A = this chain, B = another copy of it.
Amino acid sequence: MKPSLAVLGCGLIGASLGAALKRAGAVSRVAGYSRGDDARIARDAGHVDVACASAAEAAVGADFVVVAAPVPAMPALFAQLRDALGAHAIVTDCGSTKHSVIEAARRELGDAFARFVPGHPIAGSERGGAQSADPDLFRNRRWLLCPLEATRPDACDSLARLLEATGARIATLDPALHDQVFAEVSHWPHAVAFALSAAIAGGGLAEEALDFSGAGLRDTTRIGASSPALWADILLDNRAACLASAARFRASTEAIVTALEAGDRDALVAIFAAASRWRNRLA
């Protein structure tokens, strides 16, 4: 008997997960719920089987419940799950940060917290929403699971087996390390791209910069075109780790400015060389 799935939040990630698992024949039924129109759009496109009126309705009878909503919406969704979850249901999330999601799940899920497996699929697109769903979104991408000491190993194993049907490469990572690493490689770099774009936008050369910029600036600022609200929430949610990454970045920026002011070519070359050696390993 194939498991049934509930997807809470049917944006790009949730709708793509439904589409991938249905195409793979890995689930018997996918119940979707979203606050806006995404669940209906996903149902009309065949990515989920039914669009439910509430998170609780979607979760009733589900073997797996995947919370694929923005991180700030998760505590309320967990609270609605508590009485709807079956005794063996396994719950996971798709949030970009893990600390606050785990604390919310611990607070809201009751006994089911032992069957909550924090997760993070490393996949996405600058185009969001159910209408952008893609059953191949997760293929060959990583899907990180961040089990806690309190997490039942069989819940983690069952979830990993289900998610493998998306084509993702499942790996585990300590949740605290997860938040530090993603502050470093994603959250704070988004702030840098926003900061550089904001500095140019607010300077006296904003129009000339649009006119004369090349591929370098386009790449360096690309993620500065991301959703302001989404990324404000992610940075705030992972604030401590992001501020640690910010402190390291400000120190390296200050070292460059100091060397530049002093005309110290050797110091500049040394900083740039350490940077490019590392960057050249990022294939």
A106 within 8 A of B: no
Within A257-279, which residues are at the interface with B (CB < 8 Å)? Answer: 257, 260-261, 263, 265, 268-269, 271-279
Q: Which residues of the partner chain B approach A208 to less than 8 Å between Cβ atoms?
A: 177, 181, 184-185
B-contacting 9-mer, from A42-50, A75-83, A131-139, A189-197: A189-197
Least CB distance, A121 to chain B, in whole angstroms: 11
Question: Which single residue of chain B is at the shortest CB-CB distance from A193?
Answer: B220
A142 within 8 A of B: yes
Question: Which single residue of chain B is at the shortest CB-CB distance from A239?
Answer: B260
Please classify the interface of chain A as helix (H, G, I), strand (E, B), loop, or mixed, using the class held by over half of its residues: helix
A228 within 8 A of B: yes
Least CB distance, A136 to chain B, in whole angstroms: 16
Give complex CA distance A195, B209 in Å.
21
| Given A205-B184, A243-B260, also A232-B265 (CB < 8 A) | yes
Pairwise interchain contact B213-A282, C-beta atoms closer than 8 A: yes
| Given A189-B217, A213-B185, A219-B219, also A278-B195 (CB < 8 A) | no
1/0 per residue A54-70: CB within 8 Å of B?
00000000000000000
Pairwise interchain contact B271-A194, C-beta atoms closer than 8 A: yes
Q: Which residues of the partner chain B approach A11 to less than 8 Å between Cβ atoms?
A: none
Within A186-210, which residues are at the interface with B (CB < 8 Å)? Answer: 186, 189-203, 205-206, 208-210
Within A89-147, which residues are at the interface with B (CB < 8 Å)? Answer: 122, 142
Pairwise interchain contact A202-B248, C-beta atoms closer than 8 A: yes
Least CB distance, A132 to chain B, in whole angstroms: 16
A281 within 8 A of B: yes
| Given A253-B253, A260-B246, also A200-B220 (CB < 8 A) | no
Q: Identify A198's interface contact among B182, B202, B231, B271, CB under 8 A.
A: B271
Give complex CA distance A245, B274 in Å.
23
1/0 per residue A225-236: CB within 8 Å of B?
111110111011
A36 within 8 A of B: no
Give complex CA distance A274, B195 in Å.
10
A218 within 8 A of B: yes
Pairwise interchain contact B228-A272, C-beta atoms closer than 8 A: yes
Pairwise interchain contact B186-A217, C-beta atoms closer than 8 A: yes
Since A192-B253, A200-B278, A242-B260 are in contact, a sample of 20 more A-B pairs with Cβ atoms closer than 8 Å, ordered by chain A residue number, is A177-B208, A184-B200, A184-B205, A185-B212, A189-B196, A189-B216, A191-B253, A191-B260, A192-B196, A193-B275, A198-B275, A199-B249, A210-B281, A217-B282, A221-B282, A224-B275, A225-B280, A228-B269, A243-B260, A243-B261
What are the 7 A-B residue pairs with the smallest beta carbon separation, nearest first?
A: A201-B278, A228-B272, A197-B275, A198-B275, A232-B268, A185-B213, A199-B248
